[in-house]
Structure 1
């Protein structure tokens, strides 16, 4: 081969080698760039994942907030509305009965004590819980039994109210004379005092309750039933008619008249002196001449009041059962008094509540 041809061939192979090397370098650079981009993308994804995990941890509820599949979210406590318990009279719709005096009591009866004339009546045969009006029968039995009023009686755990959970300032171990127990039961409606009077009665509590029911039957109180001496149980029930009979009989007892209308009484218990007041504010008013009274309340009975009072020269027996509140039962008594006083010649015309409902 001529010298010039061999030189050309060598030159060709040199150029070819350079081209191959260049292509290899270009390919290598491209591959390296791809790896760098992938690595950058991987790093970016990892960083994003870390940020997401951190955000989730920050927003996650505290340990114990998740239970199983459900999430427990703690919120501020909200007050729960508990509707007032309806009285027996409200359940029966007795308060919807119209009456000429627009009384707020579900049942009422006004009787002339001397003539026994019924001047006003409203649902007077309805048998309803009577609450602490029960204590009027308790007091009558204790007074008529001739028991020593100076005998000391102690409050025990048996006298603590388990029916309604009511409180008392007469703590277990307190000791008072029977007369003081009777005073507090009639004037201030003291439940533990009334229970102690029944518990310490000859024969015990069961015998005392039996005597209460026997006395009711003897007086002709056919609508009446007693299960305890306090009235805390809603099973102590009677009608306005029966209670008018009881008020008339109890008014004949001088001790019951004096104790039930007393304005207040101080009780010495050890180093303490407790002041008790009458539960009936009407006894404090000069416009009222009250000979005997008793109040009562449990949710099933509503606000109750019985009285013997002299109005416009007439001796009246007044019974109010299942009134709306403390004020309304006193308001009913005031309405009756104004009605009696407004009658020409001071003679009231008998009124009978209408039997229609107000709807």
Structure 2
């Protein structure tokens, strides 16, 4: 047995496809007839010319001839492209799911807005009629102010004029600001200075109002302030300046600084008692000062007394503010010098329509032999002002006057804990507002704010339970 050399002859016949080891007699089985060329398979259609083509062996006589076979078909193009498309679709779906989850989580964990209060009433009320005509003094200057409403009227211009002892309101205000005195307490015990005692004879010769301090005398802070404000003791004005600042000039500097802070643009202090005619102010400025002073409890307690009662058992001494206890007057300060004339500042409290109302005023530069000329003029003003005051009820107790807005579309009613009553006088427009800092949650009846109507302050309570916004509202909010 032998193998033919593996060299393709001409005509495309490949010897390596011929095997000579067939069994005897096999050459005649299926042999081609004599003179007929052996059968060979035609090349497969579509095969490139000159390329090797697989052949399938066939037996022809004593050898096997390989017949070319068709190549395996390529996978369909459509099937090959489905997997990448499915993978891309899955990526998009997962990304969308992550985005949705992120948005939902972000909406739910964002802080909810702070609730706010809104007014349901009109923002103002106008009292019908013409403004009242008040009995203003024929000379000097004067002004009347109603706390929470504003100035009711003024007369006489605004030129600075000597204050006389009305300056002691600022002396007490500055001293109490730096040395607070609790309600009902006497405060520290203070010893009068030798300098103050030495000045007494000269002060008596000038006719100043005095307590008459003596060597070694000791006074509590409260008693010193009572002598200052009730009997208008000049000697105590200078003693308070020394106790606070070591002398008149540094204390006067503090008085002027306080005046600037209060917006008293027409005021200048040159001494703590007001005896010096260089200490000047205006009626309007003195009302600004009295408003601030009446917020100090110790001051209001002292100026509401009609007499000074010494600690040593000596007789009581009446004060100059004879209107205390009349027409609702709860305090004030008188002053007089030849240069200043009669001066008086006053505070009166009245209930108008059940609303507590504070009336403040000043009458200055009255041509009278004492401060009583100014006191009398102020008495006429106070009566006229109180007669002109009127009230209007904007909402009864329990009425819905506002809402709590949760910031996401929800609201809870607010109801008035008492009647909303506004005070004023004919021709006046009074603003109505609402204030409050409500919680995120609250029970019905809980106080959460107030309505302001001029001088009136009416508490507001929740009309129903206040709850935080629901999860749905948090999820769909766009703000």
Asked whether the two chains share a fold, i.e. TM above 0.5, the reply is: yes
- TM-superposed CA distance for 1:189, in Å, is 0.7
Question: Relative to structure 1, is the Cα distance of residues 153 and 147 closer, same or farther in structure 2, using a 3 angstrom cutoff?
Answer: farther
Q: Choose which of 212, 227, 238 in structure 2 pairs with 1:170.
A: 212
Q: Choose which of 206, 217, 241 in structure 1 pairs with 2:284.
A: 241
Partner of 1:139: 172
Measure, in 2, the Cα distance between the counterparts of 1:339 and 1:121: 14
3-state SS of paired residue (2:148): coil
Measure, in 1, the Cα distance between the counterparts of 2:227 and 2:306: 11
Measure, in 2, the Cα distance between the counterparts of 1:290 and 1:100: 18
Contact preservation (8 Å) 1:216, 1:224: yes
Measure, in 2, the Cα distance between the counterparts of 1:206 and 1:124: 30
Partner of 1:273: 314
Partner of 1:112: 146
- TM-superposed CA distance for 1:268, in Å, is 3.5
Looking at secondary structure, tell me which structure has more helix per residue: 1
The superposition leaves residues 115-162 of structure 1 with CA deviations (integer Å, 9 ceiling, x where unpaired) of: 22x212012412000011110000011111126832222153445355
Partner of 1:316: 359
TM-score (norm 1): 0.63
3-state SS of paired residue (1:200): helix
Name whichever of 243-252 and 290-299 sits farther off: 290-299
TM-score (norm 2): 0.48
Kindly report the root-mean-square deviation, in angstroms, between the aligned alpha carbons of the 2 structures.
2.5
**Does 2:425 correspond to 1:348?**
yes
Q: Choose which of 128, 133, 145 in structure 1 pairs with 2:161.
A: 128
The superposition leaves residues 282-318 of structure 1 with CA deviations (integer Å, 9 ceiling, x where unpaired) of: 1143xx2223311111111111110121246332111
Partner of 1:296: 335
3-state SS of paired residue (2:331): strand
Partner of 1:257: 300
Measure, in 2, the Cα distance between the counterparts of 1:185 and 1:198: 12
Aligned runs of 1:1-359 on 2, under 5 Å? 101-116=135-150, 118-146=151-179, 149-158=187-196, 159-160=199-200, 162=203, 164-166=206-208, 168-173=210-215, 174-269=217-312, 273-285=314-326, 288-311=327-350, 313=352, 314-325=357-368, 326-343=371-388, 345=390, 347-349=424-426
Aligned pairs, number? 248
Question: Relative to structure 1, is the Cα distance of residues 111 and 349 closer, same or farther in structure 2, using a 3 angstrom cutoff?
Answer: farther
Structure 1 gaps, min length 5: 1-98, 352-359
The superposition leaves residues 21-71 of structure 1 with CA deviations (integer Å, 9 ceiling, x where unpaired) of: xxxxxxxxxxxxxxxxxxxxxxxxxxxxxxxxxxxxxxxxxxxxxxxxxxx
State the structure with bigger RCO (CA 8 A, min sep 6), 1 or 2: 1
Contact preservation (8 Å) 1:256, 1:292: no
Measure, in 1, the Cα distance between the counterparts of 2:292 and 2:386: 25
Contact preservation (8 Å) 1:132, 1:231: yes
Question: Relative to structure 1, is the Cα distance of residues 273 and 237 closer, same or farther in structure 2, using a 3 angstrom cutoff?
Answer: same
Partner of 1:15: none
Q: Which has the larger radius of gyration?
A: 2
Measure, in 1, the Cα distance between the counterparts of 2:230 and 2:301: 9
Contact preservation (8 Å) 2:163, 2:335: yes
Contact preservation (8 Å) 2:388, 2:425: yes
